[in-house]
Amino acid sequence: MNMKASGKLQEILSKGEFAVTAECGPPRGANSEIVRKKGELLKGYVDAVNVTDNQTAIVRMSSIAACTHLLQMGLEPVMQMVTRDRNRIALQSDIMGAYSLGITNILCLSGDHQSFGSQPDALNVFDIDSMNLIRTVQTMREQGKDMSGFELKGPPAMFIGAAANPFADPFEYRVIRLAKKIDAGADFIQTQCIYNIDRFKEWIKMAREEGLTEKVHILGGVTPLKSAGMAKFMNNKVAGMDVPESLIKRIAGVPKEEAVKEGLKICQETIAQLREIKGVHGIHIMAIEWEEIVGEIVEEAGLLPRP
Amino acid sequence: MIVGEQKPISEIKEIIAPYKKILILGCGTCVKTCFAGGEDEVAVLASALRLACKKDGKEIEIEEFTVERQCEDEFIREGAPAISRNEGVLSLACGAGVQALARRFVKIPILPGVNTTFIGVLEKQGVFTEECSGCGDCMLAIFGGICPFTRCAKKLLNGPCGGSQNGKCEVNPETDCAWQLIIERLKILGQMDNLRAYVPPKNWQTGLSGGPRKLVREDHII
């Protein structure tokens, strides 16, 4: 079979071009206009848009639905899918449903724990983990079969993404985990927000040495900081985030009204460095609820026009 | 062992409110070890309830008794006379004990006085930790003797999530990251290769997903 999805993101990455993706968080409601507005802000500036799946365990419009709204606007979505809320039956069904709607990219995640969300009393599922989900999507594409081995009529052929966090512990295991995700079927990786570029370099060096950067497309995650408060919050309160003290000091050192500008400057410096690193094939801009800045970041970085 | 915790006295008062004559029945095995339902706890709870009811102006007769194990008929039998002469029984056993009593004494309400919490170990005096979820398909051999299904908040089988920092779990900074422990242990054992291998989806059929389980030991059935 060996069918592969043929989206723009895959095409750009397989040509060896530098990819740009961004993120769109669906609204806490059923208003599709909100999704379209976010889509408008991103259109033309990025190759694909990640649509989160009830991120931070807060109930929102489903990723599949929001992806579909973006598709209708001519944007290419990356459907994020977490294993927190659905068992393997629902996951596989939604993958097939999504593909039938024209969604060709998926990002396989475990998901934020429900205790961080608005409904901590919910039952979590975690029937399978993100590694198992990657393998499931790959088996559907490569063998045309579901998890039971049943031959599917029109198997979904998704371009498969996974996440990596070079800043979480234990550090020495992070590359082993990356290798496992690639073996399981990941075609591309989107990383956690990069602020500690030295640690990122160390991680990707280890990945290069294992030959992993030849097997997978790594997109470095960036999130522009808006204030010293935000930098501190991300460092102290967001699990798995590493904002070096020097960066916090730098943004705290400028007048308040200059902080946003300084944050964007830091973001540009990070992007410039990422483009120089062997094995980095693109960037993933996570401007949370600040989609209007994405175009400016991409333009400023000299990454326009998009292919 | 099965670890449990006595319900708050306010809840127990509500549960026993309809009755004037109750038996507090302790269990001398697991819940005794975790200070939730042994003979001593029965005595303390009985005194506290008598006092509380007196304060509320409620008349109640409370009898105390403890059997070795409430989950076995052989031991339950010892409590039969006391059970039969009361309007209700407040059991300080785990949920299995409560149900074993309810099965045996159908006409007497059997009420739970303990919240059964988990299968765990005594980490140190007064501290109990959950270690096993009774999944019916033990994989501790490959995980260095540390169970990720039970001890990882996301039941991850293939390594730590992105929220593991400084050896702690993102869900509760006081909880050790199970995966950090697994990795440390496998390093000591020289079995890090176990972590390179893909662990396929777990078969939950042997767990509670397959419905309530029953173990039949033909070789022991007379």
Q: Which of A108, A109, A97, A110 is nearest to A156 (CA)?
A: A97
Using DSSP's 3-state secondary structure scheme, residue A77 falls into strand
pLDDT at A188 over 90: yes
pLDDT (0 to 100) of residue B65? 98
Which one-letter amino acid corresponds to residue B71? C
Note the ipTM here: 0.92
Task: Please name the residues in contact with A283: beta carbons below 8 A apart, sequence gap of 6 or more.
Answer: A18, A19, A20, A21, A219, A220, A221, A222, A271, A274
pLDDT (0 to 100) of residue A4? 55
Extents of the domains making up chain B: 2-118, 135-210
Q: Do B198 and A135 touch (CB under 8 A)?
A: yes
pLDDT (0 to 100) of residue B120? 96
CATH architecture of A8-300: Alpha-Beta Barrel (3.20)
Q: A283 exposed, middle or buried (CB, 10 Å; 0-12, 13-18, 19+)? A: buried
pLDDT band at A82 (very low <50, low <70, confident <90, very high): very high
B180 contacts chain A (CB < 8 A): yes
B162 contacts chain A (CB < 8 A): yes
Q: Do B198 and A131 touch (CB under 8 A)?
A: yes
DSSP letters, B110-164, are EEE-EEEEEEEEEEETTEEEEEE---SS--TTTTTT--HHHHSTT--SSS--TT-
Partner residue opposite B166 with nearest CB, options A132, A169, A180: A169
Question: In chain A, how many H helices and how many E strands?
Answer: 11, 8
pLDDT band at B166 (very low <50, low <70, confident <90, very high): confident
Q: In what order do the strands lie in the sheet with B127-132?
A: B2-6, B114-124, B127-132
- The whole-number average pLDDT for the span B87-109 is 97
- The whole-number average pLDDT for the span B163-178 is 90
- All residues of chain A having their beta carbon less than 8 Å from the beta carbon of residue B155 are 126, 129
Beta-sheet pairing, A159-164 with A105-109? parallel
CA distance B119 to B113: 18
pLDDT (0 to 100) of residue A185? 98
Within 10 A of A77 (CB to CB), how many other CB atoms are there? 29
Using DSSP's 3-state secondary structure scheme, residue A260 falls into helix
Partner residue opposite A173 with nearest CB, options B165, B167, B183: B183
Mutate to test the interface with A, among B170, B172, B186, B193 (most CBs of A within 10 A): B170
pLDDT band at A5 (very low <50, low <70, confident <90, very high): low
B185 contacts chain A (CB < 8 A): no
Which residues of chain A approach chain B closer than 8 Å at the C-beta? Answer: 84, 88, 110-111, 113, 115-116, 124, 126-132, 135, 147, 163-165, 168-170, 173, 176-177, 179-180, 183-184, 192, 239-240
Task: Please name the residues in contact with B127: beta carbons below 8 A apart, sequence gap of 6 or more.
Answer: none
Q: Do A126 and B167 touch (CB under 8 A)?
A: no
Length of chain B: 222
- The whole-number average pLDDT for the span A11-33 is 97
Backbone angles phi, psi at B26, to 5 degrees: -90, 170
Within 10 A of A2 (CB to CB), how many other CB atoms are there? 8
Beta carbons of A271 and A222 less than 8 angstroms apart: yes
pLDDT tens-digit map of A131-156: 999 999 999 999 999 999 999 999 99
pLDDT (0 to 100) of residue A2? 42
- 3-state SS of B188-200 is HHCCHHHHCCCCC
pLDDT tens-digit map of A254-271: 999 999 999 999 999 999
Within 10 A of A160 (CB to CB), how many other CB atoms are there? 27
Backbone angles phi, psi at B194, to 5 degrees: -55, -30
* Mean of pLDDT over chain A: 96
Alpha helices in chain A (DSSP H): 8-14, 32-42, 63-72, 88-100, 130-143, 171-184, 197-209, 228-237, 245-252, 259-276, 294-300
Q: Do A168 and B166 touch (CB under 8 A)?
A: no
B200 contacts chain A (CB < 8 A): yes
Q: Do B163 and A124 touch (CB under 8 A)?
A: no
- The whole-number average pLDDT for the span A219-227 is 97
Beta carbons of B166 and B174 less than 8 angstroms apart: no
Backbone angles phi, psi at B130, to 5 degrees: -75, 135
Partner residue opposite B158 with nearest CB, options A115, A180, A239: A180
Beta carbons of B101 and B83 less than 8 angstroms apart: yes
pLDDT at B96 over 80: yes
Which residue from B minimizes the CA distance to A164? B162
pLDDT band at A116 (very low <50, low <70, confident <90, very high): very high
- All residues of chain B having their beta carbon less than 8 Å from the beta carbon of residue A169 are 160, 164-167, 177, 180
pLDDT (0 to 100) of residue A237? 86
Q: Do A132 and B157 touch (CB under 8 A)?
A: yes
pLDDT (0 to 100) of residue A169? 85
pLDDT (0 to 100) of residue A76? 98
A-to-B residue pairs, Cβ atoms closer than 8 angstroms: 95
pLDDT at B20 over 60: yes
User: Could you tell me the fold of the domain covering B2-118?
Assistant: Rossmann fold (3.40.50)
